[in-house]
Amino acid sequence: MLVAAKEMLDKAKAGHYAVGQFNINNLEWTKAILLTAQECNSPVILGVSEGAGKYMTGFKTVADMVKAMIDELNITVPVALHLDHGSYEGCYKCIKAGFSSIMFDGSHYPIEENVEKTKELVAVAHAMGMSIEAEVGSIGGEEDGVVGAGECADPQECKMIADLGVDMLAAGIGNIHGKYPANWQGLSFETLDAIQQLTGAMPLVLHGGTGIPADMIKKAIDLGVSKINVNTECQLSFAAATREYIEAGKDNQGKGFDPRKLLAPGFEAIKATVKEKMELFGSIDKA
Ligand code: 13P
């Protein structure tokens, strides 16, 4: 069932668990995540970056594929189709394409401009029955060519953006996209706590979910994080399982080169990673 993300995240915040956002890249990714959510009876958010949207030939292809797959696979758990780190123009494209949720990442603008653009998009998204995520304080690392320094967000600025009526708020707390470097300082729980104190019931979003130790994830959920984004970890499990298949020469055995066989181990690996995250985030049986 395709829905906006607001209700599932408000329930997660009240119930002290988090809903996973898993980024999709193609049909296999989408199918693996949807089936796992259904098997786990968990709400789920499918994240689509602008680069992934382009790769899949455009947001309309993505929205139509996701809707058709939910229908054909009889997916009854709540599923939100969400633009990840959207530009101002990208948000409008996804609204038009039939997404159920958007993220406007105005964190690289001066705060006044971030406020102005977010405010406009909140009104448009809500008029369309969609949910909207905003961002304050950039998330470090590189995603789709966008490089963020990884600063900690200013809690007062978070309050300004939260007060605009966004449904979820991403705030930098030392998290970064991709693998964490060996000298990573960890999450700033002090910043998270200060943000949570000022933004109250607002579901907070933790980007860069790959590689954050389980105890930090649990503490972040205790401090108000209700949505956790995971991208790289599914890519790593897919790649490792595919490598193992090829290195074992299985593509040369029988019809092992058939894409349905070749991609199967990676598909199963994504499913296992998604299930593991849903267990850690506490969203199983919360559909
Ligand atoms: P990772 O790739 O580090 O899991 O981050 C995903 C993310 O935050 C998407 O917005």
Residues 2-23: pLDDT tens digits?
999 999 999 999 999 999 999 9
* 85, two tokens: 């780190």
- Residue 84 designated active-site: yes
Alpha carbon 28 to its chain centroid, in Å, reads 17
The backbone torsions φ and ψ at residue 24, rounded to the nearest 5 degrees and listed phi first, read -110, 150
Report which of residues 174 and 81 the model is more confident about: 81
Q: How far is the CA of 141 from the centre of ligand 1 (A)?
A: 9
User: Is the four-CA dihedral 234, 22, 110, 13 of positive or negative sign?
Assistant: negative
Q: Active-site residue among 10, 64, 71, 84?
A: 84
72, containing H or E segment: helix 59-72
Q: 0.85 exceeded by the pTM?
A: yes
Give the bridge partners for 21, in sequence order: 45, 229
**What mean pLDDT is predicted for residues 39-60?**
98
Q: Are strands 225-230 and 141-143 parallel, antiparallel or unpaired?
A: unpaired
Q: Which atom of ligand 1 is nearest to the CA of 235?
A: 2
Q: Which atom of ligand 1 is nearest to the CA of 84?
A: 10
Q: What percent of the chain has pLDDT over 90?
A: 90
| DSSP 8-state assignment for residue 250 | G
Residues 196-212: pLDDT tens digits?
999 999 999 999 999 99
Residues 150-170: pLDDT tens digits?
678 999 999 999 999 999 999
Other residues' Cβ atoms within 10 Å of the Cβ of residue 7: 14
Q: What is the C-alpha to C-alpha distance for residues 66 and 176, in angstroms, rounded to an integer?
A: 28
